[in-house]
Amino acid sequence: MYLEHITTFLNLAETLNFSKTAINMHQSQSSISQSILSIEKELNLQLFIRDRKRVILTPTGKDLYYSLKPWLNDYHQAIQHAQNIDILNQINLTIGYSGTPYEYAVIPMIVKLFRQQNPNIKVILENYAHSVLIDHLKNGNCNLIFTMPDIIKNVEGLTYYNLTNGQYCLIVPHDSNKELKSPIPINSLTNQSIIFLDHRWCPPTQNKLQQEILHHNNHLNISYVNNISTCHTMVKAGTGLGVWANFVQDPHDKDLNCLKLKTDIIPKYGVAVLDQGTNKAANSFVKWLTNNGLPLITKNYL
């Protein structure tokens, strides 16, 4: 007897109405009748007495019902238990990132390589500003964020894992500013058009560098933007020069050059998780990242 036949028999034994059972089983009434006839023929038993007014279970039908009902309940419980085990094995890992050109280029590669070695972990990505990512991490909406230590310096309850020490650079279009040569003193940018990140959005170390550039240069044409994507687009459009860390730059971008700036300010980049309550998937990802390192960070300065 098929499972569907058993379910149909038990339902009809409870409703004693072919029409109601047809509705419950999402089948036609004739299909229900054929299923019951098929069961009775297979078992060589009469399970129901039918006439034009009613349906009655035979004593044999009652006995079979009371035997099969707990079995079907056990079957569904067993399936549910197996599904719960599968859910536990298929651990979700939500990763937050702020959307730098580097992250857009490299995170898909990182996730793909990680999942090849950890196929039981389901990875979900979310892209928000740093302040939102920190809130999501603390509230449990994500398990891990890519960040910089100065961004989370005053945030309690987080553990930071450093993945790389970088270098702040002046970002210039490939076809302009040929006179600029790396490394560039920060006091040699007078009369340049530069695009800065708003202090409410940019990392504290970058804001400190921007203030030093302002202090040491006269007649700067400064534009302020509130996210790195806009800054990146404006630099590519030739509206000004950019300032960001080498680990922010898209390693595949041939339109922009990274020129090392002479500064003692060293930016760092890594991941942060909660001090307590971090799930196994996040711990596995951190361990995998620290062992394998970050790929394709721009290190060739012109």
Looking at the fold, whether 35 and 118 belong to one and the same domain comes out as no
Confidence at residue 45, expressed as pLDDT on a 0 to 100 scale: 92
Looking at the fold, whether 158 and 273 belong to one and the same domain comes out as yes
Looking at the fold, whether 159 and 273 belong to one and the same domain comes out as yes
Alpha helices, DSSP H only, in the chain? 3-15, 18-24, 29-43, 59-89, 101-117, 130-139, 204-216, 228-236, 280-292
Place of tokens 């058993």: 6
Q: pTM here?
A: 0.69
Looking at the fold, whether 281 and 152 belong to one and the same domain comes out as yes
Q: Which residues contact 177 (CB under 8 A, 6 or more apart)?
A: 241
Looking at the fold, whether 81 and 97 belong to one and the same domain comes out as no
- Ranges in the chain, pLDDT < 50: 302
In CATH, what number is assigned to the domain containing residue 231?
3.40.190.10
Range of the domain at 41: 3-88
| Residues pairing with 123 in the sheet | 93
Q: Is residue 302 part of a domain?
A: no
Tens of pLDDT, residues 79-99: 887 887 766 655 889 999 999
Tens of pLDDT, residues 243-289: 999 999 998 888 998 999 999 999 999 999 999 877 889 999 999 99
Looking at the fold, whether 77 and 116 belong to one and the same domain comes out as no
Q: Is residue 227 part of a domain?
A: yes
SS3 114: helix
Confidence at residue 298, expressed as pLDDT on a 0 to 100 scale: 58
Number of domains in the chain: 3
Number of C-beta neighbours around residue 4 at 10 A: 11
